[in-house]
Structures are given as structure tokens and as C-alpha cells.
């Protein structure tokens, strides 16, 4: 596969990051874009020099001419668009990347995975936080045995940053922090400690101006024996504001790993201490404090292309991400019913 051609659907708040990142990836060209909103479509097409523009995704798939579609819309449109991608080219389908949250419920997620699987094409969920370079450094240290076998982890995201001005829909849904942000933090916990057997969660809303919960505290029993605490808040006002950093505390049989505010990674093991600055680079098109997320977009998209070329499944394939998505569903169920939920229930 030499030159890879893509199409992007959804020219909103976040898609610009994806389009900038595609421009930096060798051998990839976004040849078409789609948005129901004509103004956003025109602005995005002009900004990125993309001539083929559609307000109707069906028409874009009918006209084809691309190998993959990058779905950057919000969740209600994910299932119809993924299924459209699987039907494209008389059922041959195209490769698919879909933004998180992948689906509105487990049944939809399973149907979407099955639809792409039937075409033999690749499906990757854009679950990028595990690709943040600081988080990646911790994952690699852990997998390399730097602190022996982990037995406890805390994966923590606490902030007071105003995410509602850029993404007003986040204030409107019955669900907020677990579905929007916690999904990433749960995924990091899975990447660090493996799949999960049981979860217990509490949620609360502090900000009276929004509809959903903005604080969630979750206790995870991982299948391999690790216990992790995943805690998320958008109601935490403190200095320094750490948005959008995920902080880590991990204890293992041979030492400890900490990822502290300011992207400072500390590993203590065998009587020694190593402190590393794992701050992400600010890519030319990026801006603080989003540069951390923006770099992870470039890295996950590069990973998708590497997987297409190598013919292997991406780390956050549909099947893999179903397990992260199930954690979201299980956390809401646990909080609603005040009980521990076994993932096998879903
Ligand atoms: P947005 O509302 O700003 O943009 C979505 C765009 O999609 C809109 O312009 C809308 O008109 C268009 N759209 C919706 N349905 C469509 C359809 N059927 N056909 C064509 N166009 C359609 O949303 P956003 O803030 O850019 O978020 C998009 C997705 O990205 C969400 O799922 C969000 O959770 C996710 N997101 C991910 C990250 C991350 O780090 N991975 C960060 C922010 C947002
Ligand atoms: O939508 C969210 C995401 O995926 O990362 C951060 C965010 O933009 C706001 O919580």
C-alpha cells in the first residue's frame, strides 16, 4: 500500500487536530471532507486545501476514491456512519477510524464491529490518551519490568478547565465525565494493568450549570490481580491547573512509578531513583495546554497507518475498545445501583 487516501467526516472542534496530524504523516492524503454544516465545511476545506466537499456522507461514499474514513463526529452519528463505511463500494467497505465514545450502547458497538469485520477492513477507535508520550513512557517502563509486578495503581485526572466553551454539547448530555473523559482514563488503566473483572463507581455533579456528572471515582479489580483507582473531576480548582495531564501512582513488587504534574516521571527501584522529564513536544500546529492531546493524535494516526501497511490490528481496535467502552457502561450501572458490577454482566 503506497499512497493512502482518506476522507474525514465531521469538521468540528476536534477535527482540526486530526487534519493537521494527517498532513504530517508521510504517504497519506485526505482527499475529501464532509460536514452537514456548510460553513464549517467551507472553512475547513479552505484551511486545509481540500477541494472535494460534501454535506451528505452517503454521497461521499458513493463517489468513493479513498481507502479509509476518519469519523470525527459526536457519538449519535457513529453507528450510521460506520455502517455506511462498511457498505461502501458495494460492500467492499473502507478502513475506519472512529472517535470515542465509539457508540451509544453496547449493542450498537457490537453491531458496528461486526459490520466492519464482515468486510475484512481495519477498524480503529480514536482512543488517543494511551498514546500521550508521558503516558506511553509509563506504559513502556511498566511493561519493561522497571518496578517488578504492579499490584496497585492510581490513574487520576482532576481539573477545573473550562471544556464547555469549546465543546458546548458536553454540558447538555445526561452523561458527562465518565463518557467523555473518564473513558480515556479507564483506557489508560487497561493499557497499564490489563482487562478488568469488576468495577465500583460513585459519581456526583458539582457544577450546577451542566446536566451530567462532573466527578467520578472508580475502583477496578483487574483480571491479573492489580487493584486500580481511576478518579476524574472537572470540578477541581487548584494551582497549578494540570489540564489535560493524567497523573499516575503505581506500586510494584520491585519499586514505584509516579507521573506527577509537569510531566515528571519518577521511578524508584533497587534502591535507586530515576527522574525523567517526559513533557510532550509542542508540534508546529499545536497550542498549550492541548499540545499533550494533540501530539497523541499524531501518534495514534501514525499507528493506524503503520498497522494498515503491516496488515495488523491497531492497539485500540474495535474489539479492544469494546472492553474500555464496557467499563464506561459498567461504571454508570455501578453508580446508579450502588453496587459492584462484574464486566461479565454486560
Ligand atoms: P463538534 O460538535 O464540534 O463537531 C462535530 C461535527 O460533526 C459538527 O460540525 C457536525 O455538523 C458534524 N456532523 C455530525 N453528524 C454528522 C453527519 N452525520 N454527517 C456529517 N457531519 C456531521 O464535536 P467535536 O468537539 O469536534 O467532537 C467530535 C468527537 O471527537 C466527539 O465524539 C468527541 O468526544 C471527540 N473528541 C475527542 C477528543 C480526543 O482527545 N480523542 C477530544 C475532543 C473531542
Ligand atoms: O472531549 C474530551 C476528550 O476526549 O479529551 C478532552 C476533552 O476534549 C474534554 O474533556
**Rounded distance from Cα 269 to ligand 2 centre (Å):** 34
Nearest CA owner, ligand 1 atom 4: 12
From first to last of the 346 residues of the chain, give the pLDDT tens digit: 689 999 999 999 999 999 999 999 999 999 999 999 999 999 999 999 999 999 999 999 999 999 999 999 999 999 999 999 999 999 999 999 999 999 999 999 999 999 999 999 999 999 999 999 999 999 999 999 999 999 999 999 999 999 999 999 999 999 999 999 999 999 999 999 999 999 999 999 999 999 999 999 999 999 999 999 999 999 999 999 999 999 999 999 999 999 999 999 999 999 999 999 999 999 999 999 999 999 999 999 999 999 999 999 999 999 999 999 999 999 999 999 999 999 999 9
- Residue 265 C-alpha cell reads as 516521571
CA distance 305 to 71: 15
DSSP 301-332: HHHHHHHHHHT---TTBHHHHHHHHHHHHHHH
Q: What ligand is nearest to the CA atom of residue 71?
A: 1
Domains of the chain: 4-126 (3.40.50.720), 129-284+323-345 (3.30.360.10)
Q: How far is the CA of 181 from the centre of ligand 2 (A)?
A: 5
Q: What is the largest CA-CA distance in the chain?
A: 63
What's the gap in Å between 30 CA and the centre of ligand 1? 17
Which amino acid residue places its CA nearest to atom 8 of ligand 2? 163
Nearest atom of ligand 2 to the alpha carbon of 177: 10
Q: Rounded to the nearest whole angstrom, what is the distance from the C-alpha of residue 204 to the centroid of ligand 1?
A: 26
Closest CA to 14 of 70, 59, 85, 86: 70
Protein residue with its CA nearest to atom 6 in ligand 2: 181
Sole residue written with cell 489508560:
188
Ligand 1: residues with CB < 6 A are: 9-15, 34-37, 40, 57, 72-75, 77, 81, 99-100, 126, 128, 167, 169, 180, 293
Q: Which value does ipTM take for this structure?
A: 0.99
Minimal-distance CA residue to ligand 1 atom 2:
12
Strands 28-34 and 4-9: parallel
Amino acid at each position: 500500500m503506497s499512497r493512502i487516501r482518506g476522507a474525514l467526516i465531521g469538521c468540528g472542534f476536534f477535527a482540526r487536530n486530526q487534519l493537521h496530524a494527517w498532513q504530517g504523516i508521510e504517504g497519506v492524503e485526505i482527499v475529501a471532507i464532509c460536514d452537514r454544516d456548510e460553513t464549517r465545511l467551507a472553512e475547513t476545506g479552505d484551511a486545509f486545501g481540500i477541494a472535494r466537499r460534501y454535506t451528505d456522507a452517503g454521497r461521499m461514499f458513493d463517489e468513493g476514491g479513498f481507502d479509509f474514513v476518519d469519523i470525527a463526529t459526536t457519538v449519535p452519528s457513529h453507528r450510521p456512519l460506520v455502517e455506511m463505511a462498511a457498505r461502501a463500494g458495494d460492500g467492499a467497505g473502507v478502513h475506519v477510524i472512529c472517535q470515542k465514545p465509539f457508540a451509544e450502547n453496547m449493542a450498537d458497538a457490537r453491531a458496528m464491529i461486526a459490520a466492519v469485520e464482515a468486510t475484512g477492513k481495519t477498524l480503529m477507535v480514536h482512543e488517543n490518551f494511551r498514546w500521550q508520550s508521558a503516558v506511553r513512557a509509563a506504559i513502556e517502563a511498566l511493561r519493561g519490568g522497571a518496578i517488578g509486578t504492579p499490584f496497585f495503581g492510581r490513574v487520576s485526572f482532576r481539573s477545573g478547565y473550562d471544556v464547555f466553551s469549546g465543546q458546548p454539547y458536553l454540558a447538555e448530555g445526561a452523561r458527562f465525565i465518565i463518557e467523555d473523559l473518564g473513558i480515556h482514563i479507564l483506557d489508560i488503566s487497561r493499557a497499564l494493568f490489563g482487562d478488568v473483572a469488576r468495577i465500583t463507581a460513585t459519581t456526583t455533579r458539582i457544577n450546577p450549570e451542566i446536566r451530567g456528572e462532573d466527578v467520578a471515582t472508580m475502583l477496578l479489580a483487574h483480571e491479573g490481580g492489580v487493584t486500580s483507582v481511576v478518579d476524574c473531576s472537572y470540578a477541581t480548582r487548584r494551582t497549578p491547573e494540570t489540564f489535560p495531564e493524567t497523573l499516575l501512582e503505581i506500586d510494584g513488587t520491585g519499586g514505584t512509578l509516579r507521573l506527577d504534574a509537569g510531566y515528571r516521571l519518577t521511578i524508584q527501584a533497587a534502591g535507586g531513583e530515576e527522574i525523567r522529564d517526559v513533557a510532550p513536544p509542542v508540534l508546529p500546529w499545536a497550542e498549550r495546554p492541548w499540545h499533550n492531546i494533540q501530539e497523541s493524535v499524531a501518534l495514534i494516526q501514525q499507528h493506524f497507518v503503520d498497522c494498515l501497511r503491516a496488515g495488523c490490528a491497531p492497539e485500540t481496535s474495535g474489539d479492544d475498545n469494546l472492553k474500555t467502552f464496557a467499563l464506561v457502561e459498567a461504571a454508570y450501572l455501578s453508580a446508579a445501583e450502588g453496587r459492584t458490577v462484574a464486566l461479565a454482566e454486560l
